[in-house]
Chain A
Amino acid sequence: SQQGEEDPQALSIQEGENATMNCSYKTSINNLQWYRQNSGRGLVHLILIRSNEREKHSGRLRVTLDTSKKSSSLLITASRAADTASYFCATFNTGNQFYFGTGTSLTVIP
């Protein structure tokens, strides 16, 4: 079974707004990664945050990690129509297993 759960399952916003997605996981982790997937395509790595980090930025992306709550969030600022995709969190836990969450489907309306 999958390790993580994203919330919400689907999100629809207007272009220019911010999008926030959350991920919860179950076991201890070494790191947590966020990936993006356009419909019917492979996954593209967005950002990796290690278990000893609390926040990380990359361009319009901001990721937070709270290991005490076993949760992470991905914020996309100033969204664009091209950000429309599914977003997955993935955890690599201390048992050397790499698991993806169920994903958030983001739609950015032009």
Chain B
Amino acid sequence: DTGVSQNPRHKITKRGQNVTFRCDPISEHNRLYWYRQTLGQGPEFLTYFQNEAQLEKSRLLSDRFSAERPKGSFSTLEIQRTEQGDSAMYLCASESGALGNTEAFFGQGTRLTVV
């Protein structure tokens, strides 16, 4: 257990439904990342927060995706009008210290299946 908690661990949803995932980072970590990982691939960067500010967004993050970190603590990732191509593992990571110069701690991920 790295201290980063993600909920739910698994989510099965019908195409077209909205889903929301939650990430609780390590409490003193000011940076939080979201990644998406499909089978046999490495994690792909989606977005990153410094405290409550969303500072980077990947082009992978279409208009159907939105992420928030309202109080600089937990974060949510919402996918609207889900598509089968959204099926993947969604990983959250947190870190602190000098940007990019410390290890990131990952949660166990939320596995999304869109049927």
A binds B: yes
Name the B residues within 8 Å of A88 (CB-CB).
Answer: 42-43
Number of A-B contacts (CB under 8 A): 63
Scoring B residues 96 to 111 as 1 if CB is less than 8 Å from chain A, else 0, what string do you get?
0001111111111101
Asked if A33 and B103 make an inter-chain contact with CB atoms under 8 angstroms apart, the answer reads yes
B2 close to A (CB within 8 Å): yes
Scoring A residues 66 to 110 as 1 if CB is less than 8 Å from chain B, else 0, what string do you get?
000000000000000000000010001000111111110000000
Number of A residues, CB within 8 Å of B = 24
> Whole-angstrom distance between the alpha carbons of A100 and B48 in the complex?
15
Asked if B42 and A100 make an inter-chain contact with CB atoms under 8 angstroms apart, the answer reads yes
**Chain A residues proximal to chain B, CB less than 8 Å:** 2, 4, 30-31, 33, 35, 40-45, 48, 50, 88, 92, 96-103
Q: Which 5 A-B pairs have the closest CB atoms?
A: A92-B100, A100-B42, A45-B103, A42-B106, A43-B106
A-B contact pairs, 12 of them (CB 8 A): A42-B106, A43-B43, A44-B2, A45-B103, A45-B104, A88-B42, A92-B101, A97-B45, A98-B33, A98-B45, A98-B104, A100-B35
